[in-house]
């Protein structure tokens, strides 16, 4: 019998969930008062591979919460139901930070023209010039290469 990474991951998740369920509340006595701390732990700091295995998402190109692909996300009229069990894994903090940074960069590029859609060649050139300036500053001040696709 061939055991997949996904099976091992799911066994580990079940093991950890059982350990979490067996946690006893912590009782604290301080300054003539007592407190009871009930522990609520969730597997929210896991990577996409673990999340996909835990939610039985077969493709890395699909959202583990709603099952949509990037093509599906382009159709804004389509309401996708969320798998509420998948929400217990949270959102990838790294993914969220990268997308936020990407959004801030796009706004910064377009600040000089104050438009989202660039219809004229002149405005496109202004935005392109601003993008190059920002990239140059990130490279010179922080040593970071930003908004340049990496091969592979």
Q: What is the pLDDT of residues 14-40, one digit of tens each?
A: 999 999 999 999 999 988 899 999 998
Q: What are phi and psi of 6, to 5 degrees?
A: -65, -40
Residues 147 and 131: their CA atoms lie apart, in Å, by 9
More reliable by pLDDT, 47 or 55: 55
For range 114-121, the mean pLDDT: 90
Residues 109 and 114: their CA atoms lie apart, in Å, by 9
- SS3 state of residue 34: strand
pLDDT at 141: 93
Q: Using the predicted structure, report yes or no on whether residue 1 has a pLDDT greater than 70.
A: no
- SS3 state of residue 110: helix
101: region left, alpha or beta (phi > 0 left; psi from -120 to 50 alpha):
alpha
Q: Using the predicted structure, report yes or no on whether residue 93 has a pLDDT greater than 60.
A: no
pLDDT at 44: 78
Q: For residue 103, what pLDDT band results from cuts at 50, 70 and 90? A: confident
């Amino acid at each position: 019998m061939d055991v997949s990474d996904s099976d091992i991951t799911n066994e580990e998740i079940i093991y950890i969930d059982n350990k979490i369920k067996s946690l006893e509340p912590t009782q604290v006595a301080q300054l003539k008062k007592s407190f009871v701390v009930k522990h609520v732990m969730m597997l929210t700091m896991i990577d996409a591979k673990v999340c996909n295995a835990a939610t039985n998402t077969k493709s890395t190109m699909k959202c583990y919460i709603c099952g949509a692909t990037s093509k599906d996300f382009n159709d804004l009229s389509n309401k996708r139901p969320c798998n509420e069990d998948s929400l217990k894994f949270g959102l990838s903090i790294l993914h969220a930070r990268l997308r936020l940074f990407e959004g801030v960069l796009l706004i910064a590029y377009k600040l000089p023209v104050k438009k989202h859609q660039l219809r004229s060649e002149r405005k496109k050139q202004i935005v392109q010039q601003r993008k190059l300036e920002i990239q140059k500053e990130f490279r010179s001040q922080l040593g970071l290469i930003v908004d340049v696709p990496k091969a592979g």
